[in-house]
Structure 1
Amino acid sequence: MPSHRFRAVRLLAIVSLAIAEPSAAFAAARNALVIGNSSYRPGYELRNPVADARAVAKSLSQLGFSVTLVEDSDLATAQRALDAFVPAATAGDAAVIYYAGHGAMIEGRSFLLPVDFSMASFDAVDREALDAERLMQALSSTHSSFKLLIFDACRNNPLETRGAAPLQRGSDAPPPRTENMLIAFSTTQGATALDGTGEHSPFAEGLIRHIGETGTDVDLLMKKVSSFVRDKTEGRQTVWIEGSMTRPFYLAAPASAAGAVTTIEPPRPAEAVELVFADSDTVLLTADRLAGLDAATLRLARNEIFARRGGRFADPALTAHFERFSWYRPTTFEPVLGAIEQKNVETIRRYELAASAPQDGFIFADSDRRLLTAEEVGALDKGQLAFARNEIYARRGRKFVKAEFRDYFSRFAWYKPQFGEVELTYVEQKNVDLIRKFEK
């Protein structure tokens, strides 16, 4: 019996200039971000995502894409890679984002799970996972004339097969409203996607096989992939496509020069550091101690809390780091933390995510990727609240009528005013609503 991909989700989002015929002009600037996560904790490892990501990265490179490849990424690294990718993709003619790894659907929202995600509970999914809607919003923000999103996923609870409580279910949250978007699912809603017997899933194998065919537009490409999946799975898996295409769109173009592949890894701790905060098990960490620390140090500070309690790590680099110290006695992937330790983990993660985001001019640099707390919003005065709320819109390219906001945000290189109204993600809208409550 072939295994089912109960735990893996793949997201391939392709944004590109639509043209009537493939031509040399199509081989202009192209950019791709490819993320593959396989090295989760024992019992949750995935066989194919990194192999699929490498194969997709190679295929895209051969089609002229400059590819950024991220393997076994934690949340902060994925956020950092996405932040760097969006402006590069906006400047080019074509952009691709591909994700392979664990995923989950909770109350209609799809999440991509980093390798350091706690598989025992989804209570902190808003803080510890990447909302797929943010990737959709990022692609929408590139304002390319054609967009294609492909999900190769078992759209189920990744913990159900292990006896965990079911996740709340819902339909997929709609993508940001945008023109010329096509969405392809590797399987129908409520069904599983087969994992396959080789190094790639049936859907990924079909995609890799046909993606480089010159003269094949995306519509025909997806039909070929669909037929491949149907034959490969003997009719047990059906590719489902939604949306519409107004004109042909080609991934493969003749005479495309191969692009470079650059690999990004999570930040590694300095070997000389044993404990960043020796008292993080007994004392609540404060802003003055966390401010100014880089992402690598913050990541180490967060994980040393788990290490002190005997926590084991899926990341070999973290394991090797803590094994150098005599006090480290790894026993479990789910160490029990005290109330102070848990609070410190949450606080450090906020600073860690903020450290991975562009900082210039922001009150909350990460308000596009996590839910703000009443405590931190309540600490702002009226003027700061107004800027904190409007920076969420400014990040999306909103044009401001008030000179106060227009002049302020125009000082920063990241602000690109283009639209009178902009769409926000679920997280961004929740943060706007929270800030408004304190402005009243």
Structure 2
Amino acid sequence: MLRATVLAVFVLLLGLTVASAERRVALVLGNSQYEHAAALPNPVRDAQAMAERLQALGFEVVSGFDLTKQQTQTTVAQFAKQVRGADVALFFYAGHGLQVSGKNYLLPIDAALEDETSLDFEAVSVDFVLRQMSRETSIRLVFLDACRDNPLAQVLAKTAGVKGASSGLAEIPIENGGAGTLVAFAASPNQLTYDGSGDHSPFTKALLQHIGETNISITEAVNRVTSDVFKATNGKQRPWINVSLTTEVVLHKVDLNAPLIVGEARPPQEEANSGTRNTGVTASQENGDQLALDVLRQKIPKLETDEPIFFDRPIKFGDPAIDGKSIAQLIMGEPLFSPVEGLDKSMWQGKHCDGCHQWNEARLCEQAKNFATNDVSVMRLQHPLGTRFKVALAKWAQSGCQ
């Protein structure tokens, strides 16, 4: 039996990412269940959500949650191997951290920090992780949500008498090389962050919202994060950003002028009954496609009427060139645009649309049904009567082509 097919719309993703061949690798760590300090409610949730977000943006993600020192080193070692030669390297950490004499450390869940020597054996130096990112990578992005009030830092400062130990993180200088580096702390140096009363900390919540926004640079994204966190904490927490990028970094880039292409796809019911299928499309690619479709939907123009559309009744298109005319009138008139891009004007100006396309009510209804089934298909290529005419056709089909 011949397999039934329906027309489906796919986005031609010219430049969905910074570059089609760009390779991105991320290390995502989150620690909540500390053995020698009170548990933190959000870091693991923060890190898990960030890992999912980065995967949707095309990152290869190396992740770990509630890791001991040994497990952390193993995970960082895996990241170090995987990140070599990447175009973009990203590091996100949520959990306890501290600084000692200007050096920043991240704390695994088994850290006790009974004396100064404990730092070398129980904590993980931020510099150690950054060195792994700097090998043969072009762009480095670092996000540290690790400035929480840390009782282990207090123990180290008081009991062990370690000078300069505190919960806040110290500024991280940026090294030259590649296309540059961006470092973002959840709070200003030497300041503490709020873990938040919701599912995520204020910093991670804002970062999840803004990282990878369509056609927004990472620099603008972190500026938006800073603003959101400052407002959410009533001015008590201000993220700190250090940026030295020599190129614009856009994690979700969509060419809004790219055409759509029409291909064959199986109906939803057949997809559901087909069992296991290998589409060759990853979950992150599907998420990226959906983001691009959402952007295109925002560009679909609206008619000036919510009333049903009829074939032979005047329509309020919202376009002076065709306002007040019916579909029947317009298909008998002259085209406003070339039916084929680049076609010489002598081939279409002064002609009649029904002559070019052999339009009639039945044939036009079939085309209109396609527009109604796949809403973003009205944005596919240029139409002789404009996009608003296609929007009206879709609405006409929804009313049964009356």
Normalization by structure 1: what TM-score? 0.49
Hey, what's the Cα distance between the residues in 1 that align with 2:65 and 2:189? 28
The secondary structure found in structure 2 opposite 1:244 is strand
Amino acid at match of 2:60: S
The secondary structure found in structure 2 opposite 1:98 is strand
The secondary structure found in structure 2 opposite 1:91 is coil
Q: Higher relative CO (CA 8 A, sep ≥ 6), structure 1 or 2?
A: 1
Amino acid at match of 2:194: L
Aligned partner of 1:100 in structure 2 is 94
The secondary structure found in structure 2 opposite 1:141 is coil
Alignment of 1:322-341 (within 5 A): none
The secondary structure found in structure 1 opposite 2:97 is strand
Aligned partner of 1:37 in structure 2 is 31
1:77, CA displacement in angstroms?
1.6
1:127, CA displacement in angstroms?
1.6
The secondary structure found in structure 2 opposite 1:25 is coil
User: Residues 201 and 23 of structure 1: is their aligned pair in 2 closer, same or farther, counting only changes over 3 Å?
Assistant: closer
Count of residue correspondences: 239
Hey, what's the Cα distance between the residues in 2 that align with 1:143 and 1:24? 15
2:130 equivalent among 136, 139, 162: 136
2:142 equivalent among 127, 131, 149: 149
Hey, what's the Cα distance between the residues in 2 that align with 1:42 and 1:189? 25
1:151, CA displacement in angstroms?
2.6
Aligned partner of 1:86 in structure 2 is 80
1:242, CA displacement in angstroms?
2.2
8 A Cα contact 1:103 1:158, kept in partner: no
Hey, what's the Cα distance between the residues in 2 that align with 1:202 and 1:35? 17
Hey, what's the Cα distance between the residues in 2 that align with 1:211 and 1:258? 18
Aligned partner of 2:164 in structure 1 is 169
Aligned partner of 2:8 in structure 1 is none
Amino acid at match of 2:38: Y
The secondary structure found in structure 2 opposite 1:181 is strand
Hey, what's the Cα distance between the residues in 2 that align with 1:169 and 1:251? 37
Aligned partner of 1:298 in structure 2 is none
User: Residues 24 and 77 of structure 1: is their aligned pair in 2 closer, same or farther, counting only changes over 3 Å?
Assistant: same
Amino acid at match of 1:185: F
Aligned partner of 2:182 in structure 1 is 182
Hey, what's the Cα distance between the residues in 2 that align with 1:103 and 1:76? 17
Normalization by structure 2: what TM-score? 0.53
Could you list the per-position Cα deviations for residues 331-382 of structure 1 after superposition, in whole angstroms to 9, with x for gaps in the alignment?
xxxxxxxxxxxxxxxxxxxxxxxxxxxxxxxxxxxxxxxxxxxxxxxxxxxx
Could you list the per-position Cα deviations for residues 252-301 of structure 1 after superposition, in whole angstroms to 9, with x for gaps in the alignment?
244995459xxxxxxxxxxxxxxxxxxxxxxxxxxxxxxxxxxxxxxxxx
Aligned partner of 2:347 in structure 1 is none
Aligned partner of 2:244 in structure 1 is 244
Aligned partner of 1:193 in structure 2 is 193
Hey, what's the Cα distance between the residues in 1 that align with 2:30 and 2:104? 17
The secondary structure found in structure 1 opposite 2:32 is coil
1:161, CA displacement in angstroms?
6.0
Amino acid at match of 2:62: T
8 A Cα contact 1:26 1:253, kept in partner: no
1:197, CA displacement in angstroms?
0.9
1:22, CA displacement in angstroms?
5.9
For structure 2, the residue ranges without an aligned partner over 5 or more in a row are: 1-14, 256-280, 286-402
User: Residues 209 and 88 of structure 1: is their aligned pair in 2 closer, same or farther, counting only changes over 3 Å?
Assistant: same
The secondary structure found in structure 1 opposite 2:84 is helix
Hey, what's the Cα distance between the residues in 1 that align with 2:126 and 2:81? 18
For structure 1, the residue ranges without an aligned partner over 5 or more in a row are: 1-20, 261-440
Q: Does 1:231 align with 2:224?
A: no
Q: Percent identity?
A: 33
1:85, CA displacement in angstroms?
1.5
Hey, what's the Cα distance between the residues in 1 that align with 2:243 and 2:60? 28
1:229, CA displacement in angstroms?
0.4
User: Residues 30 and 259 of structure 1: is their aligned pair in 2 closer, same or farther, counting only changes over 3 Å?
Assistant: farther
Could you list the per-position Cα deviations for residues 89-141 of structure 1 after superposition, in whole angstroms to 9, with x for gaps in the alignment?
12333322222222121122111111111154443111221111011111111
Could you list the per-position Cα deviations for residues 213-248 of structure 1 after superposition, in whole angstroms to 9, with x for gaps in the alignment?
110101110111011101111111112222333321
User: Residues 116 and 172 of structure 1: is their aligned pair in 2 closer, same or farther, counting only changes over 3 Å?
Assistant: same
CA RMSD of aligned residues (A): 2.8
8 A Cα contact 1:137 1:176, kept in partner: no
Aligned partner of 2:220 in structure 1 is 220
Structure of greater Rg: 2
Aligned partner of 1:327 in structure 2 is none
